Amino acid sequence: MYTRCIVCASPFEPNEELGHLPNGKRLAFDPGRGRLWVVCRTCRRWSLTPIEDRWEALEELEKLTTDKAHLLSQTDNIALLRHGGLEVVRVGRAELSEEAWWRYGRELASRRQTWQTLGFAGTLAAGAVLVGSWATGGLTFFGAWLIMGHGSETVRDGARWLRFGSTAWQGEGRCERCGAVQDAITYRDRAGLGLFPSENPGEIDLVARCTRCGTYRDGGLRLRGQEAEHTLRRVLAYHHFAGASERRVMSATRLIQEAGSPKDLTRIVVKDGRRLGDLQRTGGIALEIATNEASEQQLLELELAELEAHWKREEELASIIDGELTPMPMLETLRRRVTRGG
Ligand SMILES: [Zn+2]
Ligand SMILES: [Zn+2]
């Protein structure tokens, strides 16, 4: 097996996932044609592994991607999968049940754990005040307030403020009806934010009610496109700072599954216009997962297009190298072993 890129000689990083292919963190393989490449992170070229030690690694890789890896995204020709520190490009469509939005669901579940820990830290702080005031014989106003049950909430609010600040959006905006200047959207006013379907299908316009004329539906401060998307993602993350239980995340992802895609879910949740404060909790969580998923999906699609172009070029080379240097029966045996006779 190669330990360095055959094009630029950069060393391949070791991985812990594959016994038969210990070098390389990004791999590409084609179970149908029996090809296996290590992808260089420096020059991005693909090194075709020598055919004589390919088949065991191919079998291992096929098993790993079928049983354990998460599908990130796919085109008609290639799929991008991840398992641990390993990124795998698999030629041919992957038949996997787990969809990519589970990743963000897990983030919400782990946020919940952090939130619970923060509450515990607040309770501890209150306990410390109690012990301290008993020792010194005095109780400060702040100490008394903490003990009166505000401990956990204070620590949580503080952590939230540290992470988000107080404004979700700042800029130069005006009410689209009366022209009143609106230069900020605060998290405090989030419940009143309007979510409206955009002219571009699957996108959302975010509308803050005008503080002067009070309009909303046909006026107010209206954010569109990326600006709306980024602000909405921030507001939803703030809104769901406490995270969500695993059960809630499961119901939310089921909603997305039933809708068909993150974009469809967004369309269904927002309908012809909703206030953020009127969203039901599961719908809100699903919307947060969907908005994050849609933006990550755009990046993945760009990456996939690039990978697909690489694959086409490398496959041309591989067919020449394997064809010229390898007697056909050996290649056929290899193909059969990997596809189990298919
Ligand atoms: Zn290289
Ligand atoms: Zn106005």
3-class secondary-structure state, position 50: coil
Residue 254 in contact with residue 172, Cβ under 8 Å? no
C-alpha of residue 12 to centroid of ligand 1, in Å = 9
Ligand nearest to the CA of 2: 1
Ligand nearest to the CA of 12: 1
C-alpha of residue 47 to centroid of ligand 2, in Å = 61
C-alpha of residue 216 to centroid of ligand 2, in Å = 8
Q: Model confidence over 280-298: pLDDT tens digits?
A: 889 999 999 888 877 777 7
Residue 167 in contact with residue 190, Cβ under 8 Å? no
Using the 8-state DSSP alphabet, how is residue 52 labeled? G
Share of the chain above pLDDT 90, in %: 30
- Cβ atoms within 10 A of the Cβ of 184, count? 14
3-class secondary-structure state, position 262: helix
C-alpha of residue 271 to centroid of ligand 2, in Å = 24
Residue 198 in contact with residue 205, Cβ under 8 Å? yes
Q: Residue range 299-311: average pLDDT?
A: 85
Task: Say if residue 33's pLDDT is above 90.
Answer: no
C-alpha of residue 183 to centroid of ligand 2, in Å = 13
Average pLDDT, the chain: 83
C-alpha of residue 41 to centroid of ligand 1, in Å = 7
C-alpha of residue 7 to centroid of ligand 1, in Å = 5
Q: Residue range 235-239: average pLDDT?
A: 92
Token look-up 């990124």 returns: 87
* Long-range contacts, stretch 205-211, CB < 8 angstroms, 24+ apart: 206/231, 206/232, 206/235, 208/182, 210/175, 210/177, 210/178, 210/180, 210/182, 211/180, 211/182
Ligand nearest to the CA of 175: 2
β 194-197/181-186 pair status: unpaired
Predicted local distance difference test score (pLDDT) of residue 342 = 46
Q: Where are the beta strands (DSSP E) in the chain?
A: 26-30, 35-39, 46-48, 70-74, 78-83, 86-91, 167-174, 181-186, 194-197, 204-208, 221-223, 274-275
Measured in degrees and rounded to the nearest 5, phi and psi for residue 340 equal 55, 55
Q: Model confidence over 134-193: pLDDT tens digits?
A: 556 565 666 666 556 666 677 788 888 888 889 999 999 999 999 999 999 999 999 999
Q: Model confidence over 65-101: pLDDT tens digits?
A: 888 888 888 888 888 888 888 999 999 865 544 455 6
Residue 154 in contact with residue 146, Cβ under 8 Å? yes
Token look-up 């049950």 returns: 149
- Cβ atoms within 10 A of the Cβ of 253, count? 23
Rounded CA-CA distance 150/159 in Å is 14
Ligand nearest to the CA of 8: 1
What pTM was estimated for this model as a whole? Answer: 0.62
Ligand nearest to the CA of 216: 2
C-alpha of residue 86 to centroid of ligand 1, in Å = 17
Q: Which of 185-194, 261-270, 276-285 has the lowest mean pLDDT?
A: 261-270
